Structure 1
Amino acid sequence: MAKWLARAGVASRRDAEALVAEGKVRLNNRPVRHPATFVQPGDTVLVAGRPVDAPDRTRLWRYHKPDGLVTTHKDPQDRPTVFRSLPPGLPRVVSVGRLDLNSEGLLLLTNDGELARRLELPSNGWVRRYRVRIFGAVDEKRLASLADGVTVDGVRYGPIEAGLDSRKGDNAWLTVALREGRNREIRRVMMSLGFHVSRLIRTSYGPFQLGTLKRTELEEVPGKVLRDQIPRA
């Protein structure tokens, strides 16, 4: 059931398991007790009283997230969200990873929560690349040392590639590449080096590029490209 709900774009697999545990999922008008419950063609599935259509073909979109939006479906502080900014007519989608409120750039969206989970796994080895503007005196040797990983406030971060692109006064632009992408990782690591991040733009996620997408622009990845880049998608 949890996998079926994720494929249907209701939520990530983990969140779908939580929905089952909370008693919010019914199959053929009976409460679902176990997330591994099998769904057959023609079955009726309800989540919180609302019917859920069977999973559509897997689709993926590139979205240029602007700063000022949070990557969540519901925000307790009622801040503007990515999902409220999407054009009407789009099926329910979930994000592949997140970008925080003040970050911008490439955000992948999919109608397949199971695919989102797969693409977030560090075991994929997919590189996430960013352009990062910092304030502070740049020591290129310290930047290079990040390739060995770094521990910040007791949290161990994996190897990070960080190179200086340009510098003007106390401001500099860096290109940063990493494979884990933990919450606020770049900001925390840069702060540990004495840098303040004033702008953070994700330019790529694995083989997918931000390219020329304008802010808030959305573009679907062609099915052939999706199949070539993600086997069995």
Structure 2
Amino acid sequence: MSGKGRSKRLRDCYEHRYPSPGDRIAKVLSRAGVASRREAERMIEDGRVSVNGKTITSPALNVTPADRVVVDGKQVGAPEAARLWLYHKPAGLVTTERDEKDRPTVFGSLPETMPRVMSVGRLDLNSEGLLLLTNDGEIKRKLELPSTGWLRRYRVRINGSVSEAKLDELRAGITVDGVNYQPMVVTFDRQQGANAWLTVSLREGKNREIRRAMGEIGVTVNRLIRVSYGPFQLANLKQGEVEEVKQRVLRDQLGLEAAPAQKPVRRTVNRPTRGKSAPVEPCPDEQPHACCILRRFLGWTALDDL
């Protein structure tokens, strides 16, 4: 094996036994409220992120608080405590930061005192009601997963009326253009002139799910209001208003705990006593790394001296 190949195997073994301190760059960006992990990875691949002055294109990198991380020319600060807001989204706003058609966005309509936030899921242009906002990408990801099991409840106004037999199709689960939608909890509330009001509850948030499912049974939705998301309620929040969830409630509902202060990571060399060899863990590879062979003969417990 060439010297270069041996060096690589030594480095691989070292990294296996002594992983780099810090966290993956995408996780750091997510916790700092820049974007979700998946979105952060796309930003990295697009060359929008630099670490210590060097542009990176792969998310396979760990960073520590000592590293200088810059996104789109702006330095990323240390992550703040996780926060969550309730926002009453009016109809006519898109739930994106940048809109190709230059339509008004949710984020452009928030108070200037708000920090940088992300939405938990989306409400389409013509939908309104409760939208959760957070500065923490991990919370965003957790609350968007169907496995969280949180019920999302909507008031839905439809044109005309609808039979219970048609609603039973939604209650059983329906497929639209090859997309399967889980069973919905649907209640007929009242007829109001030419329209009818329904309450629809579901545990997933696929794009335009209610509108598409209603269209499949021949019903047109002309107003859609989300009134709750898990334990969080729209209640009396007025259109355009934002209300922060208290930290105590956030901890209770999401199981968050205050993060303990992290101690600096140190790598130590534990020398064996004279005449005795330190115990060595077996190399996980079928073919032992060169460093593992050296450790067996020399009793080294770290590779700092190699």
TM tier, shorter chain? Answer: over 0.9
Query: Once superposed, what is the RMSD of the aligned Cα atoms?
Result: 1.2
**Looking at CA atoms only, which structure, 1 or 2, has the larger radius of gyration?**
2
Structure 1 unaligned runs (5+)?
none
Paired with 1:102 and 1:232, the residues of 2 have a C-alpha distance of 34
Which one scores higher on RCO, CA 8 angstroms, separation ≥ 6? Answer: 1
Mapping of residues 105-184 of structure 1, within 5 Å: 105-184=129-208
Please identify which structure carries the higher strand content. 1
**Are 1:144 and 1:161, in contact at CA under 8 Å, matched by a contact in 2?**
no
What is the TM-score when the length of structure 1 is the normalising length? 0.96
Aligned residue number for residue 66 of structure 2:
42
Please identify which structure carries the higher helix content. 2
**Are 1:94 and 1:109, in contact at CA under 8 Å, matched by a contact in 2?**
yes
**Are 2:46 and 2:57, in contact at CA under 8 Å, matched by a contact in 1?**
no
Mapping of residues 50-61 of structure 1, within 5 Å: 50-61=74-85
Runs (4 or more) in structure 1 with deviation over 6 Å come to none
Match of 1:72 among 93, 96, 105: 96
Match of 1:187 among 211, 214, 234: 211
Q: For structure 1, which segment, 32-41 or 112-121, has the greater mean C-alpha deviation from structure 2 after superposition?
A: 32-41
Match of 1:197 among 196, 221, 240: 221
Partner of 2:41, secondary structure, is helix
Number of residues paired by the alignment? 233
Q: Render the CA deviation track for 1:118-168: whole Å, top value 9, x for unaligned.
A: 110011111100000001231012213322210112211111111101113
Identity %: 61
TM-fit CA distance, 1:71: 0.3
Partner of 1:133, secondary structure, is strand
Paired with 2:194 and 2:114, the residues of 1 have a C-alpha distance of 43
Q: For structure 1, which segment, 102-111 or 114-123, has the greater mean C-alpha deviation from structure 2 after superposition?
A: 114-123
What is the TM-score when the length of structure 2 is the normalising length? 0.74
Paired with 2:30 and 2:120, the residues of 1 have a C-alpha distance of 13
Paired with 2:230 and 2:192, the residues of 1 have a C-alpha distance of 30
**Are 1:5 and 1:11, in contact at CA under 8 Å, matched by a contact in 2?**
yes
